[in-house]
Amino acid sequence: MRSPGHFAIVLTCLLCVSPAWAQKQQREPLTSAQVEKIREAGIDPAERVKLYTTFLNEHVDSIKALTARARSSARVLRMDSELQDLTALMDELGSNLDQYAERKADLRKSLKPLAEATQNWLGALRAVPSEPGFELSRKEAIESGQDLAEQASRLLEEQTAYFKIHKDERGQDRAEPKQ
């Protein structure tokens, strides 16, 4: 029979290892250079949206290139990874758009190209042939792309209407409270 102290030690070890394992599993869809560019553009929401759009285009180009390659287990793993990275990056951009919308940052110049790009991404994702090794990742990427496309279009409409009324706030990074 084991002592209660032994159980506590084992439980503590398991609790310490679990977060480290979860961190290791977290995806990082951007390179360190891309992360640095996003950080540098931190004070310019429109520039950040443009950067995200560029990086997403690069992931979609990689997916298109993988689609053309001969079927292999390595291709399936790489495709699954690229699709997961694409999904994570689209979700991250969607979260950023939510924050910028709350701040009333003027994103109209970057939203129009984003709205157009999302349609291209969705077309590319739908053209990827269904395979068991990455079907779930493909489905999630398409759903994330649809959500981002709807969000970008809706936000563009909302901002066009908002800045038509609030002309003095055009081009701003954030709405400042009126005193």
* 51-90 confidence digits (pLDDT tens): 999 999 999 999 999 999 999 999 999 999 999 999 999 9
pLDDT value at 25 more than 60 = no
**Which pLDDT band holds residue 20 (cuts at 50, 70, 90)?**
very low
CA dist 19 and 13 (Å) reads 11
> Is 177 or 169 the better-scoring residue by pLDDT?
169
> Is 147 or 131 the better-scoring residue by pLDDT?
147
Instruction: Enumerate residues 6+ apart whose C-beta is below 8 A from 177.
Output: none
| Any domain includes 42 | yes
Instruction: Using a pLDDT cut of 90, give the percent of the chain over it.
Output: 61
| Any domain includes 8 | no
Instruction: Enumerate residues 6+ apart whose C-beta is below 8 A from 42.
Output: 48
What mean pLDDT comes out for the span 133-159? 96
Q: How many domains does the chain have?
A: 1
Domain that holds residue 70: 29-169
- Cβ atoms of residues 125 and 76 within 8 Å: no
| Any domain includes 24 | no
| Any domain includes 123 | yes
